[in-house]
Amino acid sequence: MDDLLMLIFAIAVAAVVLVGFMILLYAWALRRRRQLDEEEREEGPREYPPDGRFEL
């Protein structure tokens, strides 16, 4: 019986760690998206060449 409780506890801890990591990753992605949106606004409107082709 103790082994079963330890297994359940280990699975619960792993689930909590996984959910916490996913929340942190989601928060980082939101912050990064806002940062990229602000940088894009600072750049101003994009200018496209008349023929629509870009050359690097």
What's the pLDDT tens digit per position in 2-43? Answer: 999 999 999 999 999 999 999 999 999 999 999 988 888 877
Query: What is d(CA 4, CA 12) in angstroms, rounded to the nearest whole number?
Result: 12
In this prediction, residue 7 carries a pLDDT of: 97
Inform me whether the pLDDT recorded for 44 exceeds 70: no
Task: Characterise 44 by phi-psi region: left (phi > 0), alpha (psi -120 to 50), beta (else).
Answer: left
pLDDT at 47: 72
Q: How confident is the model at residue 53 (pLDDT cuts 50, 70, 90)?
A: confident
Can you tell me the mean pLDDT for 46-51? 69
Give the rounded distance of the alpha carbon of 39 from its chain centre: 18
Q: What is the pLDDT of residue 56?
A: 64
